[in-house]
Amino acid sequence: MGSLRFVSTSHGGESTAVSTAADRRLIAALRQGDEAAFGQLIDMYHASLLRLARSYVADRAVAEEVVQETWLGVIRGIDRFEGRSSLKTWIYRILTNTAKKRGVRERRTVPFSALLSADDGDDGVVDADRFRPDGHLWAGHWASPPSSWGSAPEERLLAGEARALIEGTIATLPDTQRQVITLRDVDGWSSEEVCNVLELTEVNQRVLLHRARAKVRHALEDYFDQAGEG
* Contact positions vs another protein (CB under 8 A): 1-3, 5-7, 9-11, 33, 35, 38-39, 42-43, 46-47, 64, 68, 71-72, 75-76, 125-126, 128, 131, 139-142, 145-149, 153-154, 157-158, 162-163, 166-167, 170, 181, 185-188, 191, 206, 209-210, 213-214, 216-217, 220-221
Q: Which of 187, 213, 214, 189 is nearest to 200 (CA)?
A: 189
Distance CA 150, CA 167 (A): 22
> Which run of H or of E encompasses 91?
helix 87-106
As measured in angstroms, the least distance from the Cβ of 115 to another protein is 23
The smaller minimum CB distance to another protein, of residues 18 and 44, is found at: 44
> In the complex, what is the shortest distance from the CB of residue 107 to another protein, in angstroms, rounded to a whole number?
25
**Nearest approach, Cβ of 55 to another protein (angstroms)?**
14
Q: Specify the residue, 107 or 161, whose C-beta has the smaller distance to another protein.
A: 161
Which DSSP string corresponds to 36-71? Answer: HHHHHHHHHHHHHHHHHHHTT---HHHHHHHHHHHH
Comparing C-alpha atoms, which of 185, 204, 186 is closest to residue 195?
204
Q: How far is the C-alpha of 28 from the C-alpha of 24, rounded, in Å? A: 6
Q: Considering beta carbons, is residue 106 or 185 the nearer one to another protein?
A: 185
Closest CB to another protein among residues 114, 165: 165
Rounded to an integer, what distance in angstroms lies between the CA atom of residue 34 and that of residue 93?
Answer: 23
